[in-house]
Structure 1
Amino acid sequence: MNRFIQFNDETVDAKTLLLYERLGRALSDTTYLELTERKLLEYRPKEAIISMSVFWRHRSKDIIHYGRLSDIYLLTIGFWKYFDIRTWNTFENKNQLNPLRKFIGEILLLLEEFRLIDLIIKERPGTITAFETRKEAYVSFHRSSISSNMQKGFLADALLNEMYITLHEGIFHESHIDWGPIKFNLIQSILQSAYDSKSTEDNTHIANRIGSIAEQSIHSDLVNQYYSIGASLVDETIQFNYHQGMSDADKGEDERKETIEEVFRSWHEENEDESGVHLEYELEHGRSGKTDGSNATEGDEDADIEETGEGHSEGNESNNRPDEEHEKNENTNEQKKAGKSFGSEHLNVVYEEQHVQVHDSFENRKKLANWREEQKPFVRSIVAEMKKRIDFKEETKREGLMKGRLSSKLTTLVVDERPKPFYKKNAPSTQLDAVFGLLVDGSASMIDKLDETKHAVLLFHDILRTLGIQHEISLYYEDANHATSQIQPNVFNQMHTFADNKQDNGMSILSFETNEDNRDGFAIRWMAEKLYKRREKHKFLLVFSDGEPSAFGYDRNGIIDTAEAVMETEKKGISVIHLFLSSEEPTEEQTALFTMMFGHKTASSNSVENFSDQTLRILKKLLAIVARTS
Structure 2
Amino acid sequence: MDLARSLTKQKELQVDYNYLSYYHPQDQMLYMSRFWDPFPDQKKKLGLKSDLYIQALGFAQETDYLSILDYSRASESLSFSSFAKQLLAMVEELRLLEPCVRKRPGIEQAMLIRTQTYRNYYQEQLTRHIERQRWAEALLCVLYIRLTSDGAYSVLDIPFELDQICEPLTTELIQLYECDSTNEAARLCMKQWPRLEAFLKQDMHVQYFMLFTHQLQAASTDNIDDLTRKNQLKNEDSIEQTNAEESEAHEDKLPSWHRETSKPTESFLQFELESGTKIHLLGQGIREAEDGDQALGSVQASSRASTGSDFTEQELQQAERDVQEKDHTHGGKAYPYGKANQFAVVRYLSAQEPSIEDRQLYAQYTREVRPWVRTLQNTINKTLEHKQHAPFRGLHVGRLQRNLLPLWTDKQPRLFYKKQQQSNELDACFALLVDCSSSMLDKMDQTKKGIILFHEALAALKIKHSIHGFWEEASQSTDTYQPNVLFNALSFEQSCWPNSGPEILQLSPQEDNRDGYMIRLLTESLLKQSEKHRILLVFSDGEPAATGYDDQGIVDTYQAVLHARKQGITVIGVFLSTEDIQPQEQQAMKNIYGKQHLLINDVAKLPEHMAPLLKQLILKQIV
Q: In which range does the TM-score fall when normalised by the shorter chain?
A: 0.3 to 0.5
Q: Which structure exhibits the higher relative contact order, with contacts defined as CA atoms closer than 8 Å and separated by 6 or more residues?
A: 2
Larger Rg belongs to: 1
